[in-house]
Amino acid sequence: MSESLDPSTRLRRLRATAGIRTMLTEISVEPRQLIQPIFVTESENLEPIPSLPGINRIPLSQLAAKCHELLKLGIHGIAPFPKIDESKKSADGVEAHSSNNLALRAIREVKQKCPEMVIFADIALDPYTTHGHDGILNSTKTDVDNDKTVAALVKMSVLTAQAGADFVAPSDMMDGRINAIRKGLDENGLTQTGILAYSAKFASAYYGPFRDAVGSTRKSGESLSKATYQINPANRRESIREAHLDDFEGADILMVKPAGIYLDIIRDVRESSALPIAAYQVSGEYAQIHAAAEKGWLNLKTTRDESLLAIRRAGADLILTYFAEAFAKDRQ
């Protein structure tokens, strides 16, 4: 018996057996809380994305089958992103408004063949612009023009909702877009279409693999700065202001992005709004875990599960994650 050590409180009592540890687990990650991002291609074949191991761009013809599989696994939501052919891109991204574009066809396909799937459709111009920015450039081509871009996003949102999306998800970070989109939807009788607002979206270096996946990476390889619209990673209070505004402007769900390296922001937003909170575990977060696992430096599944748990613990109700399907499969 130790003479110097006599703690009356021994926390290890509550960790002593698998039974008590299970009983006292505070939070969990369930497939129903996950949303699978899905890249859609015009081509007839699955296209692997080297920087996102295990994730393929999916042809339209295989989309419904994928959605049925996900539903069986307990995943009820997808976030589709189109990879637009280079020939259809332009400086102002008008392909976003073409009624038969890939994104709209994908939404119609899913709603027709797998209507139970909840679709969160991204609203931003980057898949459609030659420069890769989320909006339309100003006359000097030095920055994204806020108000012109908002007008384009409203039009895109109405088309997207008419195609059958359950939620439009503006990821552009323009000022005033939630209010404008809500008005546009309501004026077109789309009062039941929700808005998942990318409220606190940071100008992050972790979006690289996503830009490869949708083909918005610059050909020169130089990284594209979105610092005049996405939040400075150094700033915490700004994300609370963004969340308040989006809540006030009529968003139904608020989102923080990236997730795992912005857990403090998830907690802040959770505490500053009563709306449901989503967090986007972005492509770079997924790629990091996979790369380390490939080298044998981290265990893929336990690291994955812990990364998702941390995001839930920070306060996220929903998580967009490329791990959704694999996580749910391992649960079966």
Binding site for ligand PBG (CB under 6 A): 122, 124, 126, 134, 171, 207, 210-211, 226, 282-283
Q: Look up 201 and say whether it is catalytic.
A: yes
CB 289 within 8 A of CB 304: yes
Which of 113, 257, 295, 329 is catalytic? The answer is 257
The values of phi and psi at residue 151, to 5°, are: -60, -40
Three-state DSSP at 255 gives strand
Q: Which is nearer to ligand PBG, 54 or 189 (CB)?
A: 54
Pair 119, 166: CB distance under 8 Å: yes
Which lies closer to ligand PBG via its Cβ, residue 93 or residue 315?
93
Give the pairing type, strands 77-83 and 318-321.
unpaired
Least distance from ligand PBG to the Cβ atom of residue 82, Å: 12
Cβ-based neighbours of 179, under 8 Å, separated by 6 or more: 249, 250
Query: Active-site residue among 89, 111, 201, 226?
Result: 201
Closest approach, Cβ 241 to ligand PBG, in A, equals: 19
Q: Closest-CB residue for ligand PBG? A: 210
Active site includes 257?
Answer: yes
Residue 202 vs 268, nearer CB to ligand PBG: 202
Q: How far is the CB of 234 from ligand PBG (least distance, A)?
A: 18
Tell me how far apart the alpha carbons of residues 150 and 136 are, in angstroms, rounded to a whole number: 9
CB 27 within 8 A of CB 309: yes
Nearer to ligand PBG, 144 or 161 (CB): 144
In the complex, minimum distance from the CB of residue 126 to ligand PBG, in angstroms, rounded to a whole number: 5
DSSP code at position 225: P
User: Residue 100 CB: number of other CB atoms within 10 A?
Assistant: 8
Active site residues: 201, 257
